[in-house]
Amino acid sequence: MPQLGETVSEGTVTTWHKKPGDKVKKDELLLEIATDKVEMEIPAPADGVVGALLVEPGTTVPVGTRLTVIDDGKGAPPPMPDASAESTTAVAAIATAQPTPAAGNAKLSPVVRKLLAENNLKPEDVAGTGDGGRITREDVLTAIDTKAQHQIRAPGQNADERVPFTHRRKVIAEHMVRSLATSAHVVQAIEVDFAAIEVLRLQSKLSYLPYIARALCLAIHAYPKVNATIEGETLVVHKRINLSIAVDLDHEGLMTPVIKDADKLDVVALGHAIQDLAAKARANKLMPDETTEGTYTISNSGSYGTLFTASIINQPQVAILSSDGVKRRPVAIETPNGEAIAIRPVGVLAQSFDHRAFDGAYSAAFLKKLKELLEAGAL
């Protein structure tokens, strides 16, 4: 069972996509797991033959528990069930516990089955676009949307819609409430003139986010306590800067994949890393180590033109930065001839921080440094 988050100690096997004796290729889908934070498809780590499935679907086990063994032909063969009646029964139980594929479709994932059940849909009601016609989560969501549109158009359909929380929605809700109950949240914000970044951004064809991420890393070097976690009555200040990037999953939840050692990357590399992780998150292709060890989080609502966002801290971190919309506004500037009014691209950066870790003056100094770096374009 892989480690899928700093505070995650266990995971649940939801679906096996291979059975004992099956051949598997490296990176081919092997199984699906779920934790209190994420649902994830786990690929095979090597080519070989799958041994006994040591953990049945629906079973929750600690991180590090062996789930199966793949014989790559380089060592001892993987454990396989013996011919005893007891072993045969155990294998049959495992097979029975696994979801049965719908006729004409590849095996359905737990997420797909849950969505189908919650919305009174059958597999045959959904057109599968996955490999071999497999029904994906996006296929079901499309079918749900189509069904909803038909209901809206139907006469006399005025009853309120009741939408049960998905597993991901439940996890996010629990995480947010727990964060508010754990940390002493305080929010501070600062206006930034992005004129210098606008010039650089247009040349590089990047969004504002990579520049903000780069400036953030430099500001953390000056004010390292924002890059920390709390353990008991101790503030653990991290030497590595691992940026968690909040990624919207097409309005169906969010994930926070992590850019490890982000301060060692330049703006262009950061831009590529952000795009790569966001694409993987939306395609459910993140690897386990791409979701762990985050030390500071950036949440970006700017593409929607938001003015100000007070984000909830991503536990166990002590701070999170919200990057909101950059808009052209009239501002007072200093010129050789005195003050003047100019049109500049201006945006708000807001930091939510845990008052247990440091005080408002420290947070304000950090934001001031961040502002100075961005307005100078010194990245």
What does the CA dihedral 250, 43, 14, 39 come to, rounded to 10 degrees? -30
Supply the pLDDT for residue 91: 35
Average pLDDT over residues 84-112: 45
Contacts of 156 (CB under 8 A, 6+ apart): none
The least confident of 95-99, 103-107, 193-197, 269-273 is 95-99
Q: Tell me: pLDDT of 239 over 70.
A: yes
Place 217 in a pLDDT band, splitting at 50, 70 and 90. very high
pTM attached to this predicted model: 0.68
- Cβ–Cβ contacts within 10 Å for residue 76, how many? 7
Residues 249-256: contacts with CB under 8 Å, at least 24 apart: 249/168, 249/281, 249/282, 250/138, 250/141, 250/282, 252/137, 252/141, 252/166, 252/168, 253/166, 253/168, 253/169, 253/172, 254/172, 255/38, 255/281, 255/286, 255/291, 256/291, 256/294, 256/297, 256/314
Report the distance separating Cα 30 and Cα 43, nearest Å.
5
Flag the least confident range among 124-138, 241-255, 325-339. 124-138
In the chain, the domains with their CATH numbers are 10-151 (2.40.50.100), 171-376 (3.30.559.10)
How far is 354 from 317, CA to CA, in rounded Å? 9
- What is the model's pLDDT at position 88? 34
Half-sphere exposure of 35 (CA within 13 A, CB side): 24
- Token readout for 188 is 């501070």
- Res. 173: pLDDT tops 80: yes
3-state secondary structure of 309: coil
* Residues labelled as active-site residues: 355, 359
Judged by average pLDDT, the poorest of 64-68, 79-83, 168-172, 217-221 is 79-83
Which is higher by pLDDT, 101 or 133? Answer: 133
User: 23 pLDDT band (50/70/90 cuts)?
Assistant: very high
Beta bridge partners of 49: 23, 71
- Residues of the chain with pLDDT > 70, as a percent, come to 87
pLDDT in tens, 91-104: 333 333 334 344 44
Please tell me which residue, 145 or 276, carries the higher pLDDT value. Answer: 276
302 φ/ψ angles, rounded to the nearest 5 degrees: -60, -30
Q: How far apart are CA 137 and CA 119, in angstroms?
A: 13
User: In sequence order, what are the beta bridge partners of 298?
Assistant: 245, 321
State how far the Cα of 224 lies from the Cα of 213, in Å rounded to an integer. Answer: 15
How does pLDDT run across 25-81, given as a tens digit for each residue? 998 999 988 876 677 888 899 999 999 999 998 788 898 999 999 998 876 554 544
Q: Would you give the distance in Å from CA 13 to the centre of its chain? A: 19
pLDDT score of 155: 54
The predicted structure's pLDDT at residue 82: 44
